[in-house]
């Protein structure tokens, strides 16, 4: 390895002072953020909220200080179905209800994985990955489906938010510490007393976590009434629902009609094949998380087919890059760090996945698109960061940003061609636990 030479630094500094551009930048960065300084005004165009396909949707929601975007996006998708059937002008499903059981199931899933790996050393890569990750708020579409199919749904007023459900850092920290403590103790307990003692310890910890979640979120509803006012200001009330009967009446088997499609242009993932990720999930025994990998043009074609049928689209992307939250824009031309610094955010998409420069980390809903000569130029996005940002909580995504940073979308299986449907019936290739397609939206 070569160290930094002091003489080279002296040369670099001398060269730096010869260019007045750096003095201007240095002065500008005293009181301005880097991205304020490199905002590209020349590229501000087509940022108005006019779209050739613009699905009317309900008011935006707010995940607050939690990583539940995937739950918010999925319940936003489902509430449109319920609101349409009941002719409501606004409605929310309980995100807390889904999050409660997701966290409980994740703890069980993680503890079971640790038990499965009892014969591994503490620094085994798979065990280390599982213990390091612990449980968090994030998730994927199939994980949402797993929870809903097992536990059902309820309106938000049947299981409202608490301070803890909206700000999950402390409970996550406490739970994860105890998961790691269990991992540390389970191996010696197994060696001294056997697997029965390990399983007893696991069930004891799971019970304590359940009690903590009930303390933090409230007692999950066993029965509730569904009451609402429709668009004509007429009051309705239906008695005697359980979360599962509510789901059955208003959603039925709808969730099982939707599949995850991804765009992962890496050498290890040929297109038109399905993939799953080892140790990715929440509900033990549920359908495994499955992705159908397609080329980007095909992913857009499928998304457009669903939008044209007046149905919004759950999708996952990497929102770490090139976003202007004040204006509500994601556009890879919005900022220009290359001209002043010689540095940029341009990289082959496959390489960015392989070398961990980018991966899916946030889920939202696509609710509109602007088509010029049947080609998309911009997309309308329903986010879950509240209505005080962007355009009442709605965002614009440029089509070129979509190409680079959108990794996943969920579409109805009816839009797939026969080859794609056949691929879904094949046994998916199992990817390693740390594969970027196993990343969680939060």
Structure tokens at 417: 């061609």
| Residues with a known catalytic role | 69, 362, 383
Which H/E stretch holds residue 303? helix 296-308
Q: How far apart are CA 231 and CA 289, in angstroms?
A: 38
SS3 408: strand
- Please tell me the distance from the alpha carbon of residue 281 to that of residue 35, in angstroms, as a whole number: 37
How far is it, in rounded angstroms, from Cα 7 to Cα 14? Answer: 11
Q: State the sign of the Cα–Cα–Cα–Cα dihedral 45, 46, 48, 49.
A: negative
- Smallest CA-to-CA distance from 135 within 67, 188, 189 is with 67
Nearest Cα to Cα of residue 84 among 295, 311, 342: 311
Helix (H, G, I), strand (E, B) or coil at 441: strand
CA distances from 44 to 54, 284, 403 (A): 21, 48, 19
Distance, CA of 287 to CA of 36 (rounded, Å)? 45
Say if residues 381 and 367 touch (Cβ distance below 8 Å). Answer: yes
Q: Which stretches within 194-217 are classed as H helix?
A: 195-217
Identify which of 299, 277, 306, 273 has the alpha carbon closest to the alpha carbon of residue 142: 277
SS (H, E, C) 222-246: CCEEEEEECCCCCEEEEEEECHHHH
DSSP 128-176: HHHHHH---S-B-HHHHHHHHHHH---BGGGS---HHHHB-HHHHHHHH
Closest to 166 measured CA to CA, from 386, 336, 439: 386
Smallest Cα–Cα separation from 100: which of 147, 157, 149, 170?
A: 147
What residues have CB less than 8 Å from 87, skipping those under 6 apart?
Answer: 230, 231, 232
């Amino acid at each position: 390895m070569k160290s930094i030479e002091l003489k080279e630094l002296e040369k670099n500094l001398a060269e730096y002072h010869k260019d007045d551009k750096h003095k201007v930048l240095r002065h500008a960065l005293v009181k301005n953020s880097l991205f304020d300084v490199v905002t590209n005004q020349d590229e501000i165009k087509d940022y108005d909220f006019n779209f050739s396909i613009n699905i009317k949707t309900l008011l935006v929601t707010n995940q607050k200080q939690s990583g539940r975007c995937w739950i918010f996006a999925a319940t936003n998708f489902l509430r449109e179905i319920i609101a349409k059937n009941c002719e409501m002008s606004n409605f929310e499903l309980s995100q807390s209800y889904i999050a409660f059981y997701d966290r409980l199931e994740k703890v069980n899933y993680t503890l079971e994985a640790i038990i499965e790996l009892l014969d591994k050393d503490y620094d085994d890569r798979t065990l280390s990955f599982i213990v390091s990750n612990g449980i968090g708020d994030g998730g994927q579409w199939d994980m949402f489906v797993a929870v809903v199919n097992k536990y059902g749904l309820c309106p938000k007023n049947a299981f409202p938010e608490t301070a803890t459900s909206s700000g999950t850092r402390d409970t996550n920290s406490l739970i994860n510490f105890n998961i790691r403590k269990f991992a540390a103790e389970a191996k010696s307990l197994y060696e001294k007393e056997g697997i029965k003692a390990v399983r007893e310890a696991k069930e004891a910890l799971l019970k304590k976590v359940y009690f903590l979640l009930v303390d933090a979120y409230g007692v999950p509803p066993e029965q509730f009434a569904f009451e609402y006012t429709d668009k004509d200001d007429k009051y309705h009330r239906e008695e005697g629902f359980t979360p599962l009967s509510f789901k059955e009446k208003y959603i039925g088997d709808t969730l099982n009609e939707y599949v995850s499609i991804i765009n992962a242009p890496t050498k290890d993932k040929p297109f038109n094949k399905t993939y799953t990720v080892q140790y990715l999930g929440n509900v033990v025994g549920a359908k495994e998380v499955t992705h159908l990998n397609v080329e980007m043009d095909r992913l857009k074609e499928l998304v457009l087919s669903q939008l044209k049928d007046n149905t919004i689209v759950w999708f996952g992307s990497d929102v770490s890059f090139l976003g202007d939250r004040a204006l509500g824009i994601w556009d890879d031309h919005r900022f220009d760090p290359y001209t002043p610094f010689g540095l940029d955010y341009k990289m082959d998409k496959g390489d960015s996945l392989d070398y961990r420069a980018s991966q899916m980390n946030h889920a939202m809903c696509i609710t509109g698109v602007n088509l010029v000569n049947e080609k998309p130029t911009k997309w309308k996005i329903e986010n879950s960061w509240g209505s005080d940002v962007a355009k009442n909580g709605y965002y614009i995504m440029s089509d070129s940003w979509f190409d680079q940073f959108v990794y996943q979308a969920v579409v109805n299986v009816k839009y797939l061609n026969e080859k794609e449907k056949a691929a879904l019936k094949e046994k998916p290739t199992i990817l390693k636990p740390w594969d970027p397609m196993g990343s969680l939206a939060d």
